[in-house]
């Protein structure tokens, strides 16, 4: 049995859409009220936790002006208070920044609810959700699937999705190649392995850049609050969504192919934030478009699920500057324009990316051995 997340698009009726949006608003309101309570208590020197915020919710439901809280899923309201508790725990343990207030326009519109006694279940081509009822979907899901909880989301283009946390019984294919592989991630080529094989970077954002600029200019000229402003906002969001979906599809297919091929994969732990600070605007845009962070996360969990080994080589290891034959460190290769070079010591001719991939593989294997 494996725990999986299954994202499914749903097609709610007009009444269900209104109830979804109302639930988003209630969850956002409760989160903000809980945050105000905790901030005031923290300043007063008597911190509060989930128990106190839960009592606050009980008192709010008794007030006539907050009677609308009784119309939405009660488990979603309890869950958002638990999310606030976890956010503060991460903040105090220095794993995250202090919690911020949720906004209707800038925060993700979503809520999570738990499956209690079959309150979330599959009925044919429908998904039953608490307080919502049966919601239509086009994707086939087995009715006997074990669902733990569900997260309902609304994208900026107005599409509704439900993310089901389920248990699945599946056997993943074992990797074909026992020989470890080293991968050097880049911009022109998405990756180069130690054998010299290269994967071309699709540059998905660059493909849509002309259209993005045109739609952005039209959006900036609309009057805020007008129907045309909302229409152009959705159109702009739709272009961004197309880029994100294409990138996600590319990364999933590529990471699955690599995980099915190699048992051991070594990559470099890139300092992406540092690269963005130093890089020119055009290069920074290409780095954002590559989204190496999400690709490495996908690759890691897929390799680990198949029983393989995944190694992140430290970012301070100069993989591009070292000669993979003799180990000489050539400082002149710091210049990114140098794509090929000859080692002054042993005379070996190097392709910058292939040499880096070989060094990453060697360093990764030494880390595994130790």
Query: Quick check: 270 and 315 in contact, CB under 8 A?
Result: yes
> Pairing relation of β-strands 181-185 and 264-268?
parallel
Residue-level pLDDT at 283:
87
Residue-level pLDDT at 106:
77
Q: Which of 168, 193, 222 finishes a domain?
A: 168
Residue-level pLDDT at 139:
87
Q: Which of 134, 168, 202 finishes a domain?
A: 168
- State the sign of the Cα–Cα–Cα–Cα dihedral 133, 136, 137, 142: positive
Same domain, yes or no, for 217 and 113? Answer: no
Same domain, yes or no, for 164 and 185? Answer: no
> Pairing relation of β-strands 126-129 and 121-123?
antiparallel
Same domain, yes or no, for 206 and 351? Answer: yes
Same domain, yes or no, for 186 and 280? Answer: yes
Which residue reads 């087995």 in tokens?
Answer: 142
Rounded to an integer, what distance in angstroms lies between the CA atom of residue 127 and that of residue 150?
10
Does 189 map to a domain?
Answer: yes
Does 226 map to a domain?
Answer: yes
Does 173 map to a domain?
Answer: no
Same domain, yes or no, for 135 and 283? Answer: no
Residue-level pLDDT at 324:
86
Helix extents (H) in 167-226: 204-220
- CB burial class (10 A; 0-12, 13-18, 19+) of residue 218? middle
> Pairing relation of β-strands 264-268 and 309-313?
parallel
Residue-level pLDDT at 277:
83
Active site residues: 184, 268, 353
Query: Quick check: 188 and 201 in contact, CB under 8 A?
Result: yes
pLDDT 10s digits, 177-196: 778 999 999 988 999 999 98
Does 217 map to a domain?
Answer: yes
Residue-level pLDDT at 358:
93
Residue-level pLDDT at 89:
93
Distances (CA, A) of 271 to 183, 285, 292, 370: 16, 16, 10, 24
Q: Which of 137, 168, 199 finishes a domain?
A: 168
Same domain, yes or no, for 9 and 122? Answer: yes
Same domain, yes or no, for 60 and 195? Answer: no
Does 175 map to a domain?
Answer: no
Residue-level pLDDT at 272:
86
Same domain, yes or no, for 227 and 290? Answer: yes
Does 238 map to a domain?
Answer: yes
List, for the chain, all residue ranges whose pLDDT scores fall below the cut of 50.
Answer: none
Same domain, yes or no, for 189 and 328? Answer: yes
Does 176 map to a domain?
Answer: no
- CB burial class (10 A; 0-12, 13-18, 19+) of residue 150? buried
**HSE-up of 343 (CA within 13 Å, CB side)?**
18
Residue-level pLDDT at 202:
92
Same domain, yes or no, for 32 and 129? Answer: yes
Q: Domain total for the chain?
A: 2
Residue-level pLDDT at 273:
86
- What is the domain extent for residue 143? 2-168
Rounded to an integer, what distance in angstroms lies between the CA atom of residue 109 and that of residue 154?
6
Rounded to an integer, what distance in angstroms lies between the CA atom of residue 136 and that of residue 42?
45
Residue-level pLDDT at 172:
78
Does 361 map to a domain?
Answer: yes
Same domain, yes or no, for 83 and 199? Answer: no
**pTM of this structure:** 0.86
Same domain, yes or no, for 233 and 201? Answer: yes
Residue-level pLDDT at 297:
95
Q: Which two tokens stand for residue 86?
A: 């976890």
Q: Which two tokens stand for residue 339?
A: 């794509």
End-to-end CA distance of the chain: 32
């Amino acid at each position: 049995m494996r725990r999986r997340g299954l994202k499914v698009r749903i097609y709610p009726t007009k009444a269900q859409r209104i109830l979804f949006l109302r639930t988003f608003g209630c969850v956002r309101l409760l989160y903000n009220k809980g945050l105000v309570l905790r901030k005031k208590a923290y300043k007063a020197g008597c911190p509060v936790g989930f128990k106190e915020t839960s009592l606050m919710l009980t008192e709010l439901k008794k007030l006539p002006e907050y009677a609308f809280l009784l119309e939405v899923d009660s488990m979603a309201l309890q869950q958002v208070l638990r999310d606030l508790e976890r956010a503060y725990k991460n903040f105090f343990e220095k794993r995250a920044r202090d919690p911020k207030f949720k906004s209707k326009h800038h925060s993700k519109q979503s809520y999570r609810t738990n499956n209690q006694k079959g309150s979330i279940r599959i009925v044919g081509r429908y998904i039953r959700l608490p307080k919502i009822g049966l919601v239509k979907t086009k994707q086939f899901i087995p009715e006997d699937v074990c669902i733990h909880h569900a997260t309902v989301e609304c994208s900026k283009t107005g599409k509704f999705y439900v993310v089901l946390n389920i248990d699945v019984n599946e056997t993943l294919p074992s990797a074909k190649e026992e020989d470890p592989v080293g991968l050097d991630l880049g911009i022109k080529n998405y990756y180069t392995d130690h054998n010299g094989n290269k994967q071309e970077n699709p540059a998905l954002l660059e493909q849509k850049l002309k259209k993005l600029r045109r739609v952005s200019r039209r959006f900036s000229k609309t009057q805020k609050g007008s129907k045309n402003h909302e229409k152009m906002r959705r159109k702009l969001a739709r272009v961004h969504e197309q880029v994100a979906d294409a990138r996600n599809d590319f990364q999933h297919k590529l990471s699955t192919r690599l995980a099915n091929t190699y048992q051991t994969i070594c990559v470099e732990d890139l300092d992406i934030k540092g690269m963005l600070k130093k890089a020119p605007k055009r290069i920074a845009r290409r780095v954002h478009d590559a989204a190496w962070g999400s690709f490495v996360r996908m690759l890691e969990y897929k390799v680990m699920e198949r029983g393989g080994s995944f190694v992140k080589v430290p970012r301070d290891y100069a993989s591009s500057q070292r000669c993979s034959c003799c180990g000489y460190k050539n400082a002149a290769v710091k210049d990114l324009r140098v794509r090929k070079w000859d080692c002054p010591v042993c005379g070996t001719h190097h392709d910058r990316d292939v040499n880096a991939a070989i060094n990453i593989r060697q360093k990764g294997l030494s880390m595994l051995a130790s």
